[in-house]
Amino acid sequence: MFTKNIIITGGAGFIGSHVVRLFVNKYPEYRIVNVDALTYAGNLANLKDVEQAPNYVFEKANILDTDAMERIFNTWQITDIIHLAAESHVDRSILSPMDFVYTNVAGTVNLLNVAKQHWLKDGEADRHLFYHVSTDEVFGALGETGFFSETTPYHPNSPYSASKAASDHFVRAYAETYGLNTIISNCSNNYGPYHFPEKLIPLFIHNIIQRKPLPVYGDGLYTRDWLFVKDHALAIDLLFHKGKRNDTYTIGGFNEWKNIDLVKLLCRLMDAKLHRTPGESEQLITFIKDRPGHDRRYAIDASKINKELGWKPTVTFEQGLDETIDWYLNNREWLEQVTSGAYQQYYETMYTRR
């Protein structure tokens, strides 16, 4: 008998697969129901090591499908949701914003509705939690100084961040209007194993391995905060169990990098790992036309989760990058599998017609 039956949406994606793995292994008393539509970003190979676990179930379903969500709620007597499923790539949101409206906004509202219908009718709302995983991009861009925190006003600039902002607002509204128990966390850029190679760090690792150009947007001076994905999963675990209900938390790595410096660091580390001449990979850096609406700088003040719950990153950037690069070098089959087919077409559209 399981003490909780938790849906994790988007569990076959990058961050979701780390959250699923952590919960399945750490909490054998919980049943984890991974709900994922397996879009281009979803990959069950990310979860090979847990798929046989007795407390793990996979449900291939779209979060927009109300009947499917109803069936899953009834079949598994769902007690909680950790919601990660989303269209997650800014560049794709610029190409096709409606996909982001459907999944990120309507999909989230559909899940909220199903949760509301099941959890509020028994009058025990406090026994349940809708945990919504979101991004720092909802806050817009920072100048040279300052940090995003829980009190920063929303100012989304891309179709992706606008869709995530809308979903955050709906979650908050369901807490206020209907009394659903919720938590929202807004996290900075993640990196680590199983990251789809359309995002900066895995894209550049992949291109360096293949000696392909490293496309850097604009002047390369865009600044991002980077957090190792396993530390994000640990923060989600902590907030799920101990976070204040109907509250929000910002999560970050205290680790800001200008894109160009990060790319040069990756080049140095990869040259050493691949026994190449120092400086060889840096020659691959190619500046390309800027992304429209590109936010200059993101940085997070994560002091609330640190002070209230003692969370802080467990690895340094160097340790996290080392583990990440080793993972990609040791899992070339995974990389080849995800970069074949549709990825090729997307890559051509994005990086070769400029």
Pairwise CA distance, residues 6 & 59, whole Å = 12
Measured from the CB atom, is 100 or 119 closer to ligand NAD? 100
Map 250-295 to HEC letters: EECCCCEEEHHHHHHHHHHHHHHHCCCCCCCHHHHEEEECCCCCCC
One residue of 181, 190, 250, 281 binding ligand NAD per CB under 6 A = 190
Among 103, 255, 259, 339, binds ligand NAD (CB under 6 A): 103
Q: What is the DSSP letter of 13?
A: S
Both structure tokens of 52: 């046989």
Q: Which residues pair with 191 in a beta bridge?
A: 228
Establish if 15 lies at the interface with ligand NAD (CB under 6 A). Answer: yes
Q: Which 275-314 positions form the footprint of ligand NAD (CB under 6 A)?
A: none
Give the residue with the Cβ less far from ligand NAD, 55 or 189: 189
191 is catalytic: no
**Taking the complex as a whole, how short is the minimal distance between the CB of residue 295 and ligand NAD, in angstroms?**
13
CB of 341 to ligand NAD, least distance (A): 15
Taking the complex as a whole, the smallest distance from the CB of residue 351 to ligand NAD amounts, in Å, to: 19
Residue among 31, 107, 116, 321 that touches ligand NAD (CB under 6 A): 107
Q: Min. distance of Cβ 68 from ligand NAD in angstroms?
A: 9
What mask, x for binding ligand NAD by CB under 6 A, covers residues 16 to 35? x-------------------
Task: Decide if residue 184 touches ligand NAD (CB under 6 A).
Answer: no
Q: Is 267 in the site for ligand NAD (CB under 6 A)?
A: no
Strand-pairing partners, residue 315, are none
What is the distance between the alpha carbons of residues 6 and 239, in angstroms, rounded to a whole number?
A: 15
* Closest to ligand NAD by CB, 39 or 66: 39
Torsion of CA 218, 222, 228, 229, to 10 degrees: -60
Cβ pair 266, 208 in contact under 8 A: yes
The CB-of-188 to ligand NAD minimum distance in angstroms stands at 7
Question: Sign of the C-alpha dihedral, residues 237, 46, 352, 87?
Answer: negative
**DSSP 3-state assignment of 110?**
helix
Instruction: Choose which of 139, 196, 240, 249 interacts with ligand NAD (CB under 6 A).
Output: 196
Residue 88, interface with ligand NAD (CB under 6 A)? yes
Look up 336 and say whether it is catalytic.
Answer: no
C-beta of residue 335 within 8 angstroms of C-beta of residue 206: yes
- Residues 124-183 contacting ligand NAD, CB under 6 A: 133-135, 164
Pick the closer one to ligand NAD by CB: 62 or 281: 62
Pick one of 44, 53, 64, 274: the residue that binds ligand NAD (CB under 6 A): 64
Q: In terms of C-beta density within 10 A (0-12 exposed, 13-18 middle, 19 or more buried), how is residue 344 classed?
A: exposed
Q: Which of 30, 56, 160, 328 is catalytic?
A: 160
Q: Which is nearer to ligand NAD, 41 or 175 (CB)?
A: 41
Chain centre to alpha carbon of residue 77: 26
By CB under 6 A, which span of 5-13, 200-208, 236-244, 325-333 interacts with ligand NAD? 5-13
Q: Looking at the DSSP assignment, which residues form a beta bridge with residue 83? A: 9, 132
**How far apart, in whole angstroms, are the C-alpha atoms of residue 187 and residue 166?**
16
Catalytic, 124? Answer no
The 3-state DSSP class for residue 317 equals: helix
When asked if residue 207 is in the footprint of ligand NAD (CB under 6 A), the reply is no
* Burial of residue 352, with CB atoms counted within 10 A of its CB: 0-12 exposed, 13-18 middle, 19 or more buried: exposed
Site for ligand NAD, rule CB under 6 A:
9-10, 12-16, 36-39, 41-42, 62-64, 84-88, 103, 107, 133-135, 164, 187, 189-190, 196
